[in-house]
Structure 1
Amino acid sequence: MTYPLFAASDTVPLEQSLHATFEAWIAAREHSRSRVRTKKALREESAEVYREMWHAFARFCTTRALDLPHVAVSDIEAFLATRATARQANLAPRYVRRFLTLIQWVTAFQAIDKGLPPNQAAQTMLERPEYRYANAANKDPVPEYLTDTQAKRLIAYLTIQSPQRDAFTPLPWKEVRDRAAVALMLGAGLTPGDVRHLLLSGVHTVGGHDEEVPWKLALPGNGNFPARETPLASWAAGVLADWLAVRAAQQIGGNFVFPSTRDGRQWSDTRCFLRTRDVLAAAGIASDAGGMFRLRHTFALRQLKNGKTEKEVAGWLGLLDLNAMVRYRRILTSPVDII
């Protein structure tokens, strides 16, 4: 099956075409029936992290007017040098290997789709000993999460201005929506997919301390997680209540809590990713490894640190296998700074 990358045109902006190539690769894996691990559908968290990584590479390619067939080893080295400046002096070999593998996967996909010779730049770098054997230990890395300082900064940004109380400088409805979506990722442990699929009927107000403020969410099951309920942090409940009031006042249609348009259409993966990422940037939270899932992991760590059991937290996150909680346990047994 061939997946169109974008409408036939010679004038598609380069960055847009690079994003389209990535999304077509994701779609191809989603529909693949292969049993090969590198060709099967990605978990939502992995897709989100890869999307964050790819957008960084796409921005770099755009500044240099580089389409994928023309990317050279020197270009990738220059790109990695920019990542080193943003993250740390020396990138971990496993981190570099992950970037190289992603570039190799997507460039190979595009070559097959367009009938072009494969670009071997990333594969050539993967043959270097420091990257070829970087995964020899094959340990599951601990999840990325927000530090206490970052989490407090983000919460302050999300709650500083209520669209209901500040009549002089009202926020556009999409900005209120975006903030509320991010609030549920950090304050209820939702994934980007959960945010996109959350229905109005899943917001519970009855039974809480204030029947005008949500206190619990009921999430429908999907291919990644079972149906479940999860509690809301009080500050996130306030942000959600403000958004629901704006949504009702502006008569935004549909059954999704966070629609893409006024008529209620569902938020797309890419638009949700870009809009929520922009909220983090506006709050001063650097775009880095972990993507938006850093917020979900921060929620889980906070609940565990506050004495909730692994079984409770796993249920709220929609994790059926308690072994998945081992990653959090490894963080909590180390001297770390979490909210």
Structure 2
Amino acid sequence: MWRNSQIQYITIAMTRKDTLWLSNPTLAYRDWQVREAAGANRRPFSARSIVQHEAMFEHFRRHLLARGRSVASFGTDDIDAFWQTPDARTYSQATRMRYAKLLDRLCRHLIFAGVREDNPAAGLLASVRWPEEEPTPQYLEAPTDRRLQAYLQHPAEDLASLRSRAIVATFLGAGITAAEARTARIGELYPNASPPYLFVPGHGSRDARTVHLSDFAVPLLRDWLARRKKLPIEGDRLFSLRPNGQPITDMSFGRIVSEILEAIGATNVEMSPRTLRNTFCRRQLLAGRPRDEVSHMLGLASSRTCDRILATMLPPAI
């Protein structure tokens, strides 16, 4: 049986055509996820899944915004164009399946709420499949990792170059995610501490943690922090491309990482922050750190990621 709150929510949505989806789709999606959305067997999504879904939806929403479309008007051509964006072209089969399920579930809800009349994502689930095996995680081999570290030490040509190198050094030297880099604050970086560290606040289902910075990243981040404090940028975000302090997008992070990896000739891997995070993880494991400790450094509740990367360090089967 439906709860009274569910009936009331649906009634309001139907009579008002859920105008929040048109005026503030980000807030509408968040509200729906928390109060209504559910996965298999009608079980509510976990806190971590909700955070992941909101990030995925926001990425797709920005794609629609750039094309002049809304959640009420996008079609199959907009979804096809999404798969061709720089970020989406690097998605694994599993990630594409997650997007397919998210968009299909979203469109079905919007039809029920009276916001849409069709589901352009209906055919996605038939065209993508979960991978039979988990893909091998992308990372830089140790010699390429060292080459990138050395490249980052070269004097920056200008402010933009310094910022880009500091961003790459943060992914490579602290192993944080793009979302964590996007929200990092000036006061959370301590390059002059002993040892130097970055404080990462808790978010979603992840607890707050302190990550000691790799030695190669410290001088660069110290220089960037000193420059950043003097810049006329609103707010206190550690990294921002605009004077108004607007957060850096995933696309911009991807472009920055790609440009620097191309500069050292590392073009045979997925050129993304995730690859640098995996490289940080693998470097710690190669140094002999226990997988549970490395998982904690990455902010992970399980050792699944470390286990997958540990598997890349095993000798090939004969």
Q: Please give the range of the TM-score, normalised by the shorter of the 2 chains.
A: 0.5 to 0.7
d(CA) in 2 for partners of 1:5, 1:291: 31
Q: Which of 155, 160, 164 does residue 161 from structure 1 map onto?
A: 155
Q: Whose relative contact order is higher, 1 or 2, with alpha carbons under 8 Å and at least 6 apart?
A: 1
Q: Contact (CA 8 Å) 2:281, 2:306: kept in 1 or not? A: no
Q: Which of 258, 263, 276 does residue 295 from structure 1 map onto?
A: 276
Partner of 2:289: 308
Q: Contact (CA 8 Å) 1:145, 1:298: kept in 2 or not? A: yes
- Once the two structures are TM-superposed, the CA of residue 293 in structure 1 deviates from its matched residue by 2.6
Q: Contact (CA 8 Å) 1:204, 1:218: kept in 2 or not? A: no
Aligned amino acid, residue 171 of structure 1: L
d(CA) in 2 for partners of 1:228, 1:147: 27
* Residue 27 (str. 1) matches residue 15 (str. 2): no
Please identify, of 230-239 and 33-42, the stretch whose mean Cα deviation from structure 2 is larger.
33-42
1:221-240 equivalences under 5 Å are: 221-240=202-221
Secondary structure of the structure 2 residue equivalent to 1:246: helix
* Residue 135 (str. 1) matches residue 130 (str. 2): yes
1:9-88 equivalences under 5 Å are: 23=26, 27-28=30-31, 31-32=34-35, 34=37, 36=39, 40=45, 42-43=48-49, 46=52, 50=56, 54=60, 62=67, 69=73, 71-72=75-76
* Alignment deviations for residues 8-34 of structure 1 (CA, whole Å, 9 cap, x no partner): xxxxxxxxxxxx86x567634654465
Q: Contact (CA 8 Å) 1:281, 1:287: kept in 2 or not? A: no
* Alignment deviations for residues 48-105 of structure 1 (CA, whole Å, 9 cap, x no partner): 984798489759x949x99875634x8867976999xx67xxx986565445334424
Secondary structure of the structure 2 residue equivalent to 1:123: coil
- Once the two structures are TM-superposed, the CA of residue 188 in structure 1 deviates from its matched residue by 0.6
1:213-252 equivalences under 5 Å are: 215-250=196-231
Aligned CA RMSD, in angstroms, stands at: 4.7
Partner of 1:117: 117
Q: Contact (CA 8 Å) 1:146, 1:294: kept in 2 or not? A: yes
d(CA) in 1 for partners of 2:48, 2:184: 18
Identify unmatched segments of 5+ residues in structure 2: 1-8, 10-17
The alpha-carbon distance between structure 1 residues 248 and 176, as it changes in their structure 2 partners (threshold 3 A), is: same
Q: Which of 190, 193, 203 does residue 203 from structure 1 map onto?
A: 190
Aligned amino acid, residue 295 of structure 1: L
Partner of 2:166: 180
- Once the two structures are TM-superposed, the CA of residue 246 in structure 1 deviates from its matched residue by 0.7
The alpha-carbon distance between structure 1 residues 234 and 5, as it changes in their structure 2 partners (threshold 3 A), is: farther
d(CA) in 2 for partners of 1:281, 1:189: 17
- Once the two structures are TM-superposed, the CA of residue 308 in structure 1 deviates from its matched residue by 1.6
Q: Contact (CA 8 Å) 2:61, 2:70: kept in 1 or not? A: no
* Residue 279 (str. 1) matches residue 256 (str. 2): yes
The TM-score normalised by the length of structure 2 is 0.66
The alpha-carbon distance between structure 1 residues 206 and 95, as it changes in their structure 2 partners (threshold 3 A), is: closer
* Alignment deviations for residues 218-268 of structure 1 (CA, whole Å, 9 cap, x no partner): 3332333222221212222122112112123336575543367668x5x54
Aligned amino acid, residue 135 of structure 1: W
